[in-house]
Amino acid sequence: MKAFVVECYGGEAGVRAGDVPDPQVGVDDILIRIHAASVNPLDVKIRDGEFKAILPFRVPFVLGNDLAGVVVEVGAAVSRFAVGDEVYARPGKDRIGTFAELIAVHQDDVAIKPATLTMQEAASLPLVALTAWQALVERAHLRAGQKVLIHAGSGGVGTIAIQLARHLGATVATTTSSANIDLVKSLGADVVVDYNKQAFEAILHDYDVVLDPLGGQNLTKSLRVLKPGGKIISIAGPPDAAFARELGANSIIRLAMAALSFQTRRRARRHRVTYSFLFMKASGDQLRALAPLIDAGEIRPVLDRVFPFKETRQALAYVEAGRAKAGKVVVTMT
């Protein structure tokens, strides 16, 4: 099959298009012919080796983290899916490889594609929708009447998180550029801060939850907008020991991650709030829970640009350069 392969870590030059063997299909796997896959900043970070310490993929490996496609084969123990089913998925972190014609995915990580979506739209959702769900529902337990700040509201995670938070009944604030104010309002943002003109930390106060996809000073400033007992959940901030435990990392890695996040956790304690790092997990069950919201129009995908599969390297460069104006970038195989 054709695929885009990371031959060596360290940048665009390390990725090539080529032929690789078709996937092996285990008893609990389904083999999916991929129709579309989305491009995420995570793909760039994996390509560049930023996660080598915790996600030690052995080169060469196929890149790509979410997909939509059609089931073409099922393993002997698979009961939930049949050949011909249209599905979407975020493969488990040890089994990525969606920039390819085929992929074998464990049945627990797959769900039937929302009926109202095209393949390109469905492919844009798994990673960001699961991130939003795990941050706001699982981790924050966000509920009606609470206030949540979602940074980078026009980004891949932000566009979905705003809609999910609105569905949960929360008051939603977000940060974005002037060009995307109307977009984030249409998605359900109640309060919009133009980060080019306003300092969000001077305007927003007494929030219950912050979802931070940016890290750095943005994370530090966000501590000030939370009320005592509030929660800040970051997908870009320093990893913590709890994340290391989730990975099953050894004691040395756990200590290293605890050290990386020490200053952030200390600042959070001074503000009487809690900090946690989120690295989303694959979950077919959560994708199934999201599908009715998507088909009911409560959550809609936002696409920035679609590239043909042969231009996957260009799509990665487009995302890396920050050229996406709003929503997700997708590559399509058909």
**Is the domain of 272 the same as that of 168?**
yes
**Is the domain of 95 the same as that of 170?**
no
Report if residue 162 sits inside a domain: yes
pLDDT value at residue 257: 83
**Is the domain of 14 the same as that of 115?**
yes
Nearest-5° Cα angle at 307, 51 to 126 = 50
CA distance 257 to 263: 11
Are 273 and 229 in contact, with CB atoms under 8 Å apart?
yes
pLDDT value at residue 96: 97
- The low-confidence residues of the chain, meaning pLDDT below 70, are none
**Is the domain of 151 the same as that of 226?**
yes
**Is the domain of 160 the same as that of 246?**
yes
Report if residue 268 sits inside a domain: yes
**Is the domain of 12 the same as that of 132?**
no
**Is the domain of 27 the same as that of 119?**
yes
pLDDT value at residue 19: 97
**Is the domain of 82 the same as that of 97?**
yes
Q: Domain total for the chain?
A: 2
pLDDT value at residue 305: 98
Whether the model clears a pTM of 0.85, i.e. scores above it, the answer is yes
CA distance 105 to 115: 21
Q: What is the DSSP letter of 100?
A: B
Say which amino acid occupies 303.
L
Q: List, in order, residues 6 or more apart from 258 with CB less than 8 Å away.
A: 240, 241, 244
CATH classification at residue 23:
3.90.180.10
pLDDT value at residue 3: 98
Report if residue 282 sits inside a domain: no
CATH classification at residue 269:
3.40.50.720
Report if residue 287 sits inside a domain: no
**Is the domain of 48 the same as that of 84?**
yes
Report if residue 285 sits inside a domain: no
pLDDT value at residue 193: 98
Q: Residue 32 sits in which domain range?
A: 2-125+301-332
Say which amino acid occupies 27.
V
**Last residue of one domain, picked from the residues 245, 262, 277:** 277
**Is the domain of 121 the same as that of 139?**
no
pLDDT value at residue 47: 96
pLDDT value at residue 241: 78
Report if residue 283 sits inside a domain: no
**Is the domain of 9 the same as that of 121?**
yes
CA distance 238 to 233: 11
What are the Cα distances from residue 185, in Å, to 63, 195, 220, 278? 34, 15, 26, 26
Q: Give the rounded distance of the alpha carbon of 61 from its chain centre.
A: 20
Report if residue 291 sits inside a domain: no
Are 279 and 235 in contact, with CB atoms under 8 Å apart?
yes
CA distance 90 to 133: 13
**Is the domain of 25 the same as that of 120?**
yes
Report if residue 290 sits inside a domain: no
